[in-house]
Structure 1
Amino acid sequence: MFKKNKINMLSCILITLCLGLQAQTKNPVLPGFYPDPSICRVGDDYYIVNSSFGFFPGIPIFHSKDLSNWKQIGHVLNRPSQLNLTDEWLSAGLYAPSLRYHEGTFYLINTFMGAKEGKQGGNFYVTAKNPAGPWSDPIWLNDIEGIDPSFFFDNDGKAYVVNNGPVADGNPRYSGHRSVWLQEFDLKTKKAIGKRVELLNAGIDPSTNPIWIEGPHLFNKDGYYYLLCAEGGTGVEHREVILRSKSIWGPYEVGKNNPILTQMGLPEDRSNPVTCTGHADFVETPNGDWVAIFLACQPYEDGHFNTGRQTFILPVDWKKGKWPMILKKGKTVPSEVSLPLSPNKDLVSFSDYSMDWKDDFDNPKLNFEWNFIRTPKEKWYDIQNGKLIINARPISIAEVGNPSFIGRRLQHFKAEFSTKVSLSEGEGKYKGRTMEAGIVAFQNEEFFYKMVLERKDSNYFLKISSATEEFESIQLKDFKPSQSVFLKMKTIENEFYAFYSLDETNWKPIGGKLDAKLLSTKTAGGYIGAYFGLYSYAKSPQKAVFDWATYKELN
């Protein structure tokens, strides 16, 4: 008896140890402004795409073998011919892409929002044989009204598009009253065919006037068609709901345990809150396990977050009644999670990679982390001899357009960004003309902090300002043309600081303590996260030279 109990006890200890040693995956898996994630699997390879709104290149794409370690492999829309962003609101542009694979081809379907008069916009899709590219030019779907389209390829080979659209009678009862629609799609003619059918009006409980039923995806499982949607808007009431039907055309039964993912109703004073969860997508592993990716926010104070909407991951539980559950009501999104696949210990996760990052500009092409504000119509930068040279354009960071700004996402509550910059002397009649270059912490054209080295009348100054106020200006006496200065910005939750140095050792503050909430979505509006970027501006041809750029998470 004692021997048997001893064996059972040892077994329990071994099981506990094994569980304790089970590798965990960090949330968010894609920290920073990577919203509206969509995922698909091809064999043992997984791919994620995200919305990019008014930034270029458009739609970052990531690859993983284990669902934990993600590496960016490119952008879907990286040619100006694919993405013509000019003077749109920065939170317009590319919304909610959906990525699917069918018979050797990747399909990325998307909505271009905010198209100006006379310019093509609406829904479109692009294709590729290799997800790293090249991708085709857009194929516009003028006959599919609405937003958030997603392809569904059925077992019989038929293709469908499911998306958010206006209600059937054209008379919404309230703001945000929308429907989910389905239509068959002919891949040969590249057009929608047959009748367009309204699958879901308003949401799972129309009596509550739910807003923005959107981000729909369809899946096959066990003889059912499952319809996964977000509702409640993209704020704190954002939630994910599930329905199913034996027929793809419905009627769709509402799941009994909806919502299957939300953080609404949780105590606001909880530690390390995650909010705004929704806009999910599912993927099935070869072993039959399911995983959900979704967007969520991490506020640091009273709903303020500077990092934008980020990509999180959780396993999906199908055990009860063949209905999926991502996270039970009342449960908080964990910062670490066990997934069906074990993380590869030899790989560096995107989260860890992002914590301590440096670009020495030793690659002739810009690294994938860098983005432009809207589409550059000309190449106004170059990489030579380990330096990034930016031609200063006559468009300031406060103007709607394509300024000489090359930025990367802010990915943490506490972070710093630094660089080494110098101003070229100019050539010919432009020698010594007025210009500025440095760092910008950017949310949009009206909400940013700018720290620049300025040349004016052969004098040099360091200045820090926002769109509406100059905080401090320091004249650099005995500063020589082409001399370098080191610049650094720090954001620590709701606090923002700037520093400069002439030797990279002795750092001096400039501008004092500023309000980092200026960079938050709650203050600035819109749907994007903050960026740190390298910037230059001049009314005449001038150049700025950046030796390197670093980004670090601060403890």
Structure 2
Amino acid sequence: MDISVPTNIQNPILPGFNPDPSIVRVDDDYYIATSTFEWYPGVQIHHSKDLVNWRLVSHPLNRSDLLEMTGNPDSCGIWAPCLSYHDGLFHLVYTDVKRFDGIKDPHNYLTTCATVDGEWSAPVYLNSSGFDPSLFHDDDGRKWLVNMVWDYRPNHNPFGGIFLQEYSASEQKLIGPVTNIFRGTEMGLTEAPHLYKRNGYYYLLTAEGGTGYDHVMTMARSRSLSGPYEVDPAGYLLTAKDNPELELQRAGHGDFVETPDGEVYVVHLCGRPINQTDMRRCPMGRETGIQPAYWTDDGWLRLSNGGNQPDLTVAGPKIDLHPWPATPVRTEFVEPTLPIDFQWLRTSFTEPLFSLQDRPGFLRLYGRESLGSLFQQSIVARRQQAFVFKAATKIEFQPTSFLQLAGLVNYYNAHKYHYLYITLNDHGQRVLAIMSCEGDPSQDFVFPLSGAENGAAVVENGEVVLPDQGAIYLQCSVNYGSLVYAWSQDGENWQELPLQLDYSVVSDEAGKGEGESFTGAFVGMCCQDLAGSGLPADFEFFDYQEFGE
């Protein structure tokens, strides 16, 4: 269905954890690829026909030969993919980062496919010199890879510049010399390179200043591919670092695209803190925004707003609107595969973790390792994409030990989460409890519940006593920085637990602080069996409903 323009675009266009956007246009279709880090399958690709309405259509890295991340630390895995189109194929280059601290061990690969939602080719290994790889298709038919270089040596800048090397499609390998074409500006932390060619100039777009509140987007150009590159004399193309009051913060790392009519749009990552003044925390992580831009007469790219700060609402292009069907609130597990909005952690080998066939009509999770594990976590979850939302599920679970747990989790990573779970206490009673980890990976602790406010529940020894048998409904209500859990026996009469949790700990900046975590908040279902017997939990549905922006 087409709806006549004009219209505005509301940022972010990809709400929730969708950082490091790479955009490409193929005829009248636009595609954005974003980072997924330790979440599987790897890379999210969204599709639009109008730059206003977007839908998730593909997770291309969905096989073990394309991606296997078992053991990868939190916030490693897939960093900054680059999506391009040439010779009738989509080209996707991506990094699998194997270490967070110190030397990153970033391995870069290329895969291709005729369609974004098809079967992607076996990966071609490229290099391991740094992350944020990008493939440039020059107009003479040659292809070039750029990536930032990680310099591990003491007393050296670890962000050592931008490496350039030719890629031979016929030989499926990098060839020729490696050249450092750009060492960045005084902002430092130079990364996220993208190359373009226009009117005889090669343009290099990079991100600098780190991916926090000092993030910027820098553009430089050269008559020669290998440089030297002249930095735009007007300064940074995009940043929010000088205005802490902006609703879109942390703006940088991005790409740009032109419509068939020559309109230019810059896509970029951004963050929306729940509190902009003192404790600036972003539960939804780094999201994707868009800004209209134009080329000046002297060949530099500028934002259409006349400055370099991101706007929350921007003018859309001169294209008829093409909305997509709304995602239903309720997901029922009746199909043989998970709905595309759901992911799990690290591994391509799902048989030990979950099944949609072992009990038809249910998602069965097999109890595995703890929420802090880097190996076998039975968790299936979806992104938080609004500040205010509710999520709920119906679970059947009969633990025989306190070592068996299953329930509803609000998860950021192995050391930032809140978890409402069913287990068994020492008296043989099935009980409901809350476990949290608020940033210290050595401390997973259970919140003692006290009192039975408003007749909410029977509370004994800090736990809610449940019926011995039968399904239980679990619910979370998130309102910016607060989280309240509830439970029900029938899905209609809810009993809130007498505890309001600090939801801001499920965010980028909590715990180890800014720059130490790169994903975003998820909400979903999980199951642990710390005794190793693999006791399953069955989930009949999952509801996710947003309220307001």
Same fold (TM over 0.5): yes
Aligned counterpart in structure 2 of residue 463 of structure 1, from 433, 440, 444? 433
Aligned counterpart in structure 1 of residue 321 of structure 2, from 341, 344, 354? 344
Deviates more, 1:158-167 or 1:309-318: 158-167
Equivalent runs, 1:77-92 vs 2, <5 Å? 77-92=61-76
The structural deviation recorded for 1:80 is 2.2
Matched, 1:296 2:270: yes
Aligned counterpart in structure 2 of residue 43 of structure 1, from 27, 33, 42? 27
Counterpart in the other structure of 1:280: 254
Paired positions, count? 513
Could you tell me how far apart the structure 2 residues matched to 1:213 and 1:113 are?
17
Specify the code of the residue in structure 2 equivalent to 1:399.
Answer: S
Matched, 1:234 2:218: no
Aligned counterpart in structure 1 of residue 407 of structure 2, from 425, 429, 438? 438
- After superposition, the C-alpha distances for 1:488-522 in whole angstroms (9 at most, x for unaligned) are 11221221211111122221222511111211111
Counterpart in the other structure of 1:4: none
Matched, 1:61 2:45: yes
Counterpart in the other structure of 1:140: 125
Counterpart in the other structure of 1:454: 423
Aligned counterpart in structure 2 of residue 498 of structure 1, from 479, 485, 494? 485
* Contact 1:242/1:260 (<8 A) preserved: yes
Matched, 1:110 2:94: yes
The structural deviation recorded for 1:166 is 4.7
Could you tell me how far apart the structure 2 residues matched to 1:316 and 1:308 are?
25
Equivalent runs, 1:253-264 vs 2, <5 Å? 253-264=230-241
SS state at 1:52 partner: coil
* Structure 1 residue runs without a partner (length 5+): 1-19, 426-430
Counterpart in the other structure of 1:6: none
SS state at 2:349 partner: coil
Greater share of helix: 1
Equivalent runs, 1:88-237 vs 2, <5 Å? 88-114=72-98, 122-142=107-127, 145-166=129-150, 175-201=157-183, 203-204=184-185, 208=186, 210-237=187-214
- After superposition, the C-alpha distances for 1:361-420 in whole angstroms (9 at most, x for unaligned) are 232210111111111524132235763332323312132222111011111222221111
Equivalent runs, 1:4-15 vs 2, <5 Å? none
Could you tell me how far apart the structure 2 residues matched to 1:237 and 1:290 are?
25
Specify the code of the residue in structure 1 equivalent to 2:383.
Answer: R
* Contact 1:44/1:65 (<8 A) preserved: yes
Counterpart in the other structure of 1:549: 542
Q: Decide whether aligned partners of structure 1 residues 121 and 265 sit closer, same or farther in structure 2, where only a CA change above 3 A counts.
A: closer
Counterpart in the other structure of 1:488: 475
The structural deviation recorded for 1:121 is 5.6
Q: Decide whether aligned partners of structure 1 residues 378 and 177 sit closer, same or farther in structure 2, where only a CA change above 3 A counts.
A: closer
SS state at 2:370 partner: coil
Specify the code of the residue in structure 2 equivalent to 1:340.
Answer: P
Could you tell me how far apart the structure 2 residues matched to 1:433 and 1:390 are?
20
Specify the code of the residue in structure 2 equivalent to 1:100.
Answer: S
Could you tell me how far apart the structure 2 residues matched to 1:518 and 1:228 are?
33
The structural deviation recorded for 1:53 is 0.6
The structural deviation recorded for 1:440 is 0.7
Specify the code of the residue in structure 1 equivalent to 2:539.
Answer: F
Counterpart in the other structure of 1:24: 8
Specify the code of the residue in structure 2 equivalent to 1:479.
Answer: P
Counterpart in the other structure of 1:365: 337
Q: Decide whether aligned partners of structure 1 residues 249 and 346 sit closer, same or farther in structure 2, where only a CA change above 3 A counts.
A: closer
Specify the code of the residue in structure 2 equivalent to 1:235.
Answer: G
The structural deviation recorded for 1:298 is 0.3
Aligned counterpart in structure 1 of residue 467 of structure 2, from 462, 479, 485? 479
Specify the code of the residue in structure 2 equivalent to 1:263.
Answer: A
Question: Which is higher, the Rg of structure 1 or of structure 2?
Answer: 1
RMSD (Å), alpha carbons: 2.6
The structural deviation recorded for 1:554 is 2.5
Could you tell me how far apart the structure 2 residues matched to 1:264 and 1:368 are?
34
Specify the code of the residue in structure 1 equivalent to 2:73.
Answer: W
Task: Tell me the TM-score normalised to structure 2 length.
Answer: 0.87
Matched, 1:532 2:523: yes
- After superposition, the C-alpha distances for 1:239-285 in whole angstroms (9 at most, x for unaligned) are 1111111221222222121201000111x3x2x62111111111122
- After superposition, the C-alpha distances for 1:294-340 in whole angstroms (9 at most, x for unaligned) are 10000012221100100111112113422101366866422222122
The structural deviation recorded for 1:129 is 1.5
- After superposition, the C-alpha distances for 1:187-223 in whole angstroms (9 at most, x for unaligned) are 111122222222111x13xxx3x32111111111122
The structural deviation recorded for 1:458 is 4.5
Could you tell me how far apart the structure 1 residues matched to 2:115 and 2:323 are?
25
SS state at 1:89 partner: coil
Could you tell me how far apart the structure 1 residues matched to 2:521 and 2:333 are?
22
* Structure 2 residue runs without a partner (length 5+): 438-443, 450-458
Q: Decide whether aligned partners of structure 1 residues 346 and 94 sit closer, same or farther in structure 2, where only a CA change above 3 A counts.
A: closer
Counterpart in the other structure of 1:381: 354
* Contact 2:63/2:348 (<8 A) preserved: no
